[in-house]
Amino acid sequence: MINWCCYCNTFIEQIEPLDDFRVSHGICPKCAEGVMSGEIDGAVDERVNDFYRDIFRLAKKGREVEVSEVMARAQELDVQQSDLYLGILQPLLWRIGQVFEAGRITVEQEHLFSESVQKLLVQFGEAGVSPPVQAVLFPAAGNTHTIGINFLCRLLLDRVEIKTTVIDRGPNGPDELSALLSRYQPNMLGISAALPEHAAYIADVARWMEELTPGGQCRLLAGGPAVAVLGTDPAAWGLPADAEICAPSGVLGFLQNLKGAAAPGAPNPA
């Protein structure tokens, strides 16, 4: 379930059961302190739940979700962009995926909602910063799922302050990888896989990287919906043991662990 703080309207974490994407009311450590000390009067804000339910209803009925309305409601509830992504839109995309798999909506209805989310990303504008950056994100060759890496870029920038950019297409061979490393000077490459067969491309990138910068400092990160099939053991992806694989339900914890190693001044491979 998606645990929200119902006092300050922030996403806390995903909790068991992990395949239940509905919102559950919780309390963040800061508000818990406020309630204990009497600074917060204990009134629970139910509006995030209503917001989530309203979008889900529209999406399920195959009605267009108005981007301007989503943005206005997030603003009214003082929900930050990264909380909107992690706590509302991401679980709704996963939930719509479940409803589609169960045969309860059509493929058109499923697509309509992901198109609304893409429009919203356009409205928010480019998340990435210009080079040099600490992390570059791109989809594996053949992967058309781009919403995840765009959300991830915003989370890296806002939640862990790692300078990150997204590129539409990854390198196609060692020469293109070398050009990418020189241009962006990243400490981390993050590649997203939706289907298990996308892992082969990530293994190619790992090999090219080893050829170009043997024992180099650039970390290789992988994640995306393929984790549901392949798990988080690099061996199952055909990747070197030091590759780091992120489970969709534990993105915030994964990013926190990256933070220290990505501090400015850490050595670059290029």
Q: What residues numbered 155-194 form the site for ligand B12, per CB under 6 A?
A: 190-192, 194
Out of 5, 92, 127, 243, the only residue in the binding site for Zn ion (CB under 5 A) is 5
Q: Which does 170 bind (CB under 5 to 8 A by kind): Zn ion, ligand B12, none?
A: none
Using the rule CB under 5 A, give the single segment among 3-11, 134-142, 200-208, 217-225 that binds Zn ion: 3-11
| Beta strands 2-5; 10-14: pairing state | antiparallel
Identify which of 83, 98, 18, 12 has the alpha carbon closest to the alpha carbon of residue 52. Answer: 83
Task: Select the residue interacting with ligand B12 from 144, 168, 215, 265 (CB under 6 A).
Answer: 144
Q: Compare residues 31 and 202 and give the one whose CB is closer to ligand B12.
A: 202
- Residues from 9 through 28 that contact Zn ion (CB under 5 A): 28
Which residues in 126-165 are b (16+ Cβ under 10 Å) and which e?
Answer: ebbeeeebbbbbbbbbebebbbbbbbbbbbbbebbebbbb
Show contacts with Zn ion in window 29-48 (CB under 5 A): 31
User: How far is 103 from 206, CA to CA, in rounded Å?
Assistant: 38
Considering only residues 52-91, where is the footprint of ligand B12 by CB under 6 A? Answer: 90
B/e letters for 89-101, b = 16+ CB within 10 Å, e = fewer, are bbbbbbbbeebbe
Six token digits for residue 135: 């992390």
**Residue closer to Zn ion, measured from CB, 4 or 184:** 4
Give the per-residue contact string, 227-266, with ligand B12 (x = CB under 6 A; - = no): -xx----------------x-x--x--x------------
Report if residue 114 touches ligand B12, rule: CB under 6 A. Answer: yes
Q: How far is the CB of 6 from Zn ion (least distance, A)?
A: 8
Specify the stretch interacting with ligand B12 by CB under 6 A; choose among 40-48, 93-101, 161-169, 233-241.
93-101
Give one word for 46, left, alpha or beta, with left for phi > 0 and alpha for psi -120 to 50. alpha
Structure token pair of residue 117: 């989310």
**Candidate residues 3, 8, 54, 249; the one interacting with Zn ion per rule CB under 5 A:** 8
Distance CA 159, CA 150 (A): 14
What is the rounded CA–CA span in Å between residue 270 and residue 268? 6
**Of these, 82, 116, 146, 165, which contacts ligand B12 (CB under 6 A)?**
146
**Alpha-carbon distance 228 to 52, whole Å?**
24
Q: What is the spatial distance between Cα 101 and Cα 64, in angstroms, rounded to a whole number?
A: 20
User: Residues in the site for ligand B12, rule: CB under 6 A?
Assistant: 90, 93-94, 96-97, 101, 110-111, 114, 118, 142-149, 151-152, 190-192, 194-196, 221-226, 228-229, 246, 248, 251, 254
